[in-house]
Structure 1
Amino acid sequence: MPEGHTLHRLARLHRRRYAGTPVRVSSPQGRFSAEAAALTGQVLTSVEAHGKHLFHHYGPHGTVHVHLGLYGMFTEAVLPVAEPVGQVRMRLVGRTHFTDLRGPTRCELLSAPEVEALVGRLGPDPLRSDADPDRAWRRVCRSRASVATLLMDQSVVAGVGNVYRAEVLYRQRVPPATPGRSLSRERWDAIWADLRHLMGEGVRVGRIDTVAEEHHPDVTGRRPRNDRHGGEVYVYRRAGQPCLVCDTPVARTELAGRNLYWCPACQSA
């Protein structure tokens, strides 16, 4: 599932290409036809992301809410438009480009109160300027749940996925099983600051890189990572391989249906 930096990159791209002008909206697949008919020809006023959610705002005409889920994706191309390929839920056509949305978990037209209610259920997003880390801390410091569980709870922190969860806990040397209420405020602030940094870099470069310069392949002489997720990481999907810092084999377990990775030595209790 795409993590928060991907949605913020999409928001930035769609603002640049489509916001501020009338757009044509259609649903070649047919599952968004009524909503598309109500929006086509209207001005896309703004685009924003909150966590793993993307919002196309059309002023008084409503907001298109998209959650990509596991299989959703946008594809971008320059005009002229081409025949749809596959099941295109929503097509957006601007002055110079068009984008097709396929396979999302959610693609729906919401009213302003519905958008407000949805965002109200989400935790603060480290990539947003209006994020309030104190709000997340109030949930974390009272919880018996592990910090690994809390970081994946979108009502606690919005936008963090499996990669950022594993990597920020490694970088901050926090054992994943640590109960939230056992964390100090200082350590939580360090986790939050590192998330802002890592995710901000993800927006900038379009992939997740978490490894410090001294541990990069061109410095250590190791082979670069070869993984469809891209980027250099410390523990994510490296189970059984040596830790880049201490050589201890990276551990893996399942937590709430997702794989969790950590270094038993660097992240000891």
Structure 2
Amino acid sequence: MPEGHTLHRLARRHTELFAGEQVAVTSPQGRFADGAARLDGHVFERAEAWGKHLWHHYIPAASGVSAPIVHVHLGLYGAFTDFDRPEPPVGQIRMRIAGPRGGTDLRGPTACDLVTEEQVDAVLARLGPDPLRAESDPDRAWQRIHRSARPVGALLMDQKVLAGVGNVYRAEVLFRAGIDPHRPGRFVSRAEFDGVWADLQDLMPVGVARGRMHVVRAEHDHGAPSYAPDRPRTYVYRRAGESCRVCGTPVSYQPMEGRNLFWCSTCQV
């Protein structure tokens, strides 16, 4: 599933492509046909993200009319594909947006719906702070973590606690902080939490800017290759049984609340 930096990168890209432009919106697949018909010909205002949620804001067609908003959650399989010129649709395109500067096709999202401002607020009220948004209050996450008996590795993946953190960032920031993912949240100190939050604020903007996560410090960025040819190196993520880049201990693996968990039993206590 795409992590928060991907959605923020998409929001930036869609704003660059469409902001201030009248756009054509269609649903070749048909599942968003009513929404597309309402949006077609509107002026795209901006895109923004919070955690793993993306919103497209449009300018109202007339005064006194509510502004159309599209909510997108990519889920496991959703993806946007940009194009310079519209071609005949290929595959299950839920939503196509085309403007003077190019366009994009959305395939396979979990959600693609027209929503109201009140519905946006309801989604935001359920989400934890997003390290990529300057106005986010990390104390909201800390209050949930330090009162919880759940493992901190599970808490970091809970979007009600922290928005936008997925499996890779979870594994890597806990390794960088030296925290065992099985440690109950209530045994994580405020200083340790503040360090994790600051690390996310440093690492996630790199993902937004580059389109790929970079989590290994320069002094460790050598030796064993990455877990896939097109990915940067990681410390522990998808490296089960391989030697830790710092201490040489085989990287451990087990599921945690339905997601794959990776950690070093020596470096993380």
| TM superposition score category, shorter chain reference | over 0.9
CA distance in 2 between counterparts of 1:118 and 1:231 reads 32
2:70 alignment counterpart: 64
2:216 alignment counterpart: 211
1:254 alignment counterpart: 255
2:93 alignment counterpart: 88
CA distance in 2 between counterparts of 1:228 and 1:147 reads 30
Amino acid of the residue matched to residue 168 of structure 2? V
CA distance in 2 between counterparts of 1:90 and 1:17 reads 15
CA distance in 2 between counterparts of 1:183 and 1:224 reads 32
Unaligned runs of 5+ in 2: 60-65
Does residue 174 of the first structure (1) align with residue 179 of the second (2)?
A: yes
> What SS is found at the alignment partner of 2:44?
coil
1:22 alignment counterpart: 22
Number of matched pairs = 263
CA distance in 1 between counterparts of 2:51 and 2:221 reads 29
Match of 1:121 among 121, 126, 130: 126
Percent of aligned pairs with the same amino acid: 56
Q: Report the more deviating stretch, 202-211 or 233-242.
A: 202-211
> What SS is found at the alignment partner of 1:93?
strand
2:79 alignment counterpart: 73
How far has the Cα of 1:232 moved from its partner? 1.3
How far has the Cα of 1:226 moved from its partner? 4.5
Does residue 110 of the first structure (1) align with residue 111 of the second (2)?
A: no
CA distance in 1 between counterparts of 2:143 and 2:229 reads 36
2:232 alignment counterpart: 231
CA distance in 2 between counterparts of 1:186 and 1:142 reads 15
Q: What are the superposed Cα offsets for residues 54-111 of structure 1, whole Å, 9 maximum, x if unpaired?
A: 10011433210000011100000102x1011100000001112010000000000001
CA distance in 1 between counterparts of 2:137 and 2:99 reads 35
How far has the Cα of 1:200 moved from its partner? 1.1
Q: What are the superposed Cα offsets for residues 160-219 of structure 1, whole Å, 9 maximum, x if unpaired?
A: 0000000000000001111111111111000000011111111111111111111112xx
> What SS is found at the alignment partner of 1:61?
coil
Q: What TM-score comes out, normalization by structure 2 length? A: 0.96
> What SS is found at the alignment partner of 2:260?
strand
> What SS is found at the alignment partner of 2:261?
strand
Amino acid of the residue matched to residue 46 of structure 1? R
CA shift in 2, pair 1:27/1:160, >3 Å: same
Q: What TM-score comes out, normalization by structure 1 length? A: 0.96
1:164 alignment counterpart: 169
CA distance in 2 between counterparts of 1:111 and 1:58 reads 12
Amino acid of the residue matched to residue 227 of structure 1? A
Q: What are the superposed Cα offsets for residues 7-50 of structure 1, whole Å, 9 maximum, x if unpaired?
A: 01100000001011211110000000001101111111111000
Aligned CA RMSD, in angstroms, stands at: 1.0
Runs of 4+ in 1 over 6 A off after TM superposition: none
CA distance in 1 between counterparts of 2:52 and 2:32 reads 20
CA distance in 2 between counterparts of 1:73 and 1:2 reads 9
> What SS is found at the alignment partner of 1:142?
coil
CA distance in 2 between counterparts of 1:226 and 1:134 reads 34
1:31 alignment counterpart: 31
8 A Cα contact 1:39 1:61, kept in partner: no
Unaligned runs of 5+ in 1: none
Q: Where do 1:121-200 residues align within 5 Å? A: 121-200=126-205
